[in-house]
Structure 1
Amino acid sequence: MKLIQFKMEHAHCANEGNAPMANSQNLKTISTADHEAAKAALDGYIEGLETGSFTRIADSFWENATMTGVTPAGFVEGSWRELEGYVEQFGAAPEQISHVDVVSITPTSALIRIDIENLADGTDCTDFHTVVKKDGAWKVIAKVFHVHG
C-alpha cells in the first residue's frame, strides 16, 4: 500500500513513480455566501423556538418536510408540523442558546447541525437538518434530532 503525500507546492498521487497529478485543481465549488444562506435557512426555526412562534418556525420548512428523533419519552417520527404542538405546550425559550454548523454542502443541498441549550421544556437538543435549495431558497426537507435528558 502506498501513502498519498500532500505538499503545498505540488500534489502527488500514489501511482507508479509518484508523478504529479496532471488534472489536479484546487477549486472552491461552494461560495461562502451559499454556506451562510444555507445556515440562514434555520434562522426562522431558531427564532421561532426562542420566541414561541410557530409561524416563524414554519418559515424554515418545506411543506412536506419530515421530523424524526429520540426524546426522553422515546422515538418520534412524522411531520415537522408537530412542532406546533410543542410551541403551544411549552411556549418561548428566551434563555435558549444555539450553535449552528454546516456539516456538508453541495450547490443544492446541505446538512446543518444545530446544538440548542435551554429549550422551553428545559431540555437540550442536537438537530441535523437536511436543507435543499429550490428556486433560490434554502429550506428544511428533513429534521433528525436527539433530545438530551
Structure 2
Amino acid sequence: MRDKIQEYAAVEAAAMKFVNSVAEGNSTYAKELFTEDAVLFGILDGVMERGSIERFYNNVDTVGAGDNFKARIDVLAVEETVAVVRVLEEGWGGRIDFTDFLLLLKLDGEWRCVAKAYNQNSNTIKHI
C-alpha cells in the first residue's frame, strides 16, 4: 500500500545524506544512511564493482565531487517498509554522471539503505 506523502519527505531526507556525502567528499553522512551490511553494484569506467558499501565510502572519501557537481533526488516509491529512490548525479569528480538507485527499508522507525546500484552514463566512461 502506498504510504502517506509525509513519509516521502522522510525518505527524501534520508537520501539527502547520500547526496551530502558525495557533494562534500565525506562518507560520514552516508554511514548514517547505509546499514553495516549494505551492498553496492555497478560498473565504474568499465569495471564491475560489487560487494560491501565500504567501496562507495572509499570512492567518496578519495574523489571530491568537484565544483560543478549537481544532484537530484526522486523518490520513486514508498510502500510502508520499503522505498526506492533514484539519485541523478552530474559532474562527480569533475567528469562522471551517475544514476543511482537506493533501496531503503524502514528499520526501527528510521529509513536505512540496504543496497545501492548505479549506472555510469556511457558518455562519461574513461576507458582504462
Could you tell which deviates more after superposition, 99-108 or 136-145?
Answer: 99-108
SS of the residue corresponding to residue 30 of structure 1 reads: coil
Could you tell which deviates more after superposition, 65-74 or 137-146?
Answer: 65-74
Q: 2:19 aligns with which of 42, 46, 70?
A: 46
Question: What amino acid sits opposite 2:9 in the alignment?
Answer: E
Q: CA separation in 2, counterparts of 1:39 and 1:113? A: 10
Q: CA separation in 1, counterparts of 2:63 and 2:2? A: 42
Partner residue in 2 for 1:33: 6
Q: CA separation in 2, counterparts of 1:126 and 1:33? A: 25
Q: 1:75 aligns with which of 34, 42, 48?
A: 48
Structure with bigger gyration radius: 1
Specify which structure has the higher proportion of strand: 2
SS of the residue corresponding to residue 92 of structure 2 reads: coil
User: What's the TM-score, normalizing by structure 1?
Assistant: 0.75
* Stretches (4+) displaced over 4 A: none
- Cα offset, 1:92, TM superposition: 4.0
Alignment of 1:106-145 (within 5 A): 106-145=79-118
Specify which structure has the higher proportion of helix: 2
Could you tell which deviates more after superposition, 135-144 or 75-84?
Answer: 75-84
Q: CA separation in 2, counterparts of 1:94 and 1:80? A: 25
Cα distance per residue 1:15-60 (max 9 Å; x no partner): xxxxxxxxxxxxx841111011112111111001111111122121
How many residues were matched structurally?
Answer: 122
Q: 2:73 aligns with which of 97, 100, 116?
A: 100
